[in-house]
Chain A
Amino acid sequence: MTNVKSLWLHAAVILLLFALNFLLPEYHRGIFSRVMVLAVFAMGYNLAFGYTGLLSLGHAMFFAAGLYGAGLTIYHLGWSVWPALGAGLLAGTLLALVVGFLALRTTGVAFMIVTLMFAQVFYLTTLYFTTYTRGEEGLVLPQAMRSLALPGASFSLTDPATRYMAALALLTIVLGLVLILVRSPYGRALIAIRENEERMRMLGYDVFANKLASVVISGLICAAAGAAYAVLFGYVGSGFASIQYSILPLLWVLLGGAATTLGPLIGTLFMFYIIDTASDYTTAYLLVVGLALILLILYFPKGIAGTVRERWLPWLP
Chain B
Amino acid sequence: MAAVTPLLSTRGLSRSFGGLKAVREVDFALPEGQIRAIIGPNGAGKTTFVSLVCGRILPSSGTVVFDGRDVSRLPAHKRVRAGIAYTFQITSIFSNLTVFDNVALAAQRHLLDDRQARPTARALEEEGMAALEKTGLADFAEKRAGNLAYGHQRLLEVAMGLALKPRLLILDEPTQGLSDGEIDSFVALVREIGREATVLLIEHNMDVVMALAERITVMDQGRILAEGTPEEIRADKAVQQAYLGG
- Using a CB–CB cutoff of 8 Å, the interface residues on chain A facing chain B are 185, 188-189, 191-192, 195-196, 198-207
Contacts and interface: CB of A to CB of B under 8 A. Distances in A.
Contacts of B86: 202
A195 B95 contact: yes
21 contacts: A185-B112, A188-B105, A189-B105, A189-B108, A192-B94, A192-B97, A192-B105, A195-B94, A195-B97, A196-B92, A199-B93, A202-B54, A202-B56, A202-B85, A202-B88, A202-B92, A203-B80, A203-B164, A204-B78, A204-B80, A204-B110
Interface string B72-99: 0001111011000110100011111100
Contacts of B94: 192, 195-196, 199
Interface string B140-179: 0000000000000000000010001000000000000000
Given A185-B119, A203-B164, A198 B105 contact: no
Contacts of B112: 185
Nearest to A202: B86
Contact of B109 (A195, A198, A205, A207): A205
Nearest to A196: B94
Contacts of B126: none
A204 B164 contact: yes
B77 A195 contact: no
B113 interface: yes
Contacts of A196: 92-95
Nearest to A206: B77
Interface in B17-73: 54, 56
A54 B88 CA distance: 25
B77 A201 contact: yes
B97 A202 contact: no
A204 to B, nearest CB: 3
A199 B92 contact: yes
B105 A200 contact: yes
Contacts of A198: 92
Contact of B81 (A191, A199, A200, A204): A204
Contacts of A204: 77-78, 80-81, 109-110, 113, 164
B220 interface: no
A188 B88 contact: no
Contacts of B81: 204
Contacts of A206: 75, 77
A182 to B, nearest CB: 13
A314 to B, nearest CB: 10
Contacts of B78: 204
B224 interface: no
Q: Sort A-B residue pairs by CB-CB distance and give the 5 closest, nearest first.
A: A204-B80, A195-B94, A204-B109, A204-B81, A199-B92
B213 interface: no
Among A189, A191, A198, A199, find the residue whose CB has the most chain B CB atoms closer than 10 A.
A199
B56 A203 contact: no
B92 A188 contact: no
Given A188-B104, A199-B88, 16 more contacts: A185-B108, A185-B112, A189-B105, A192-B94, A192-B97, A195-B94, A200-B105, A201-B56, A202-B80, A202-B92, A203-B106, A204-B77, A204-B78, A204-B113, A204-B164, A206-B75
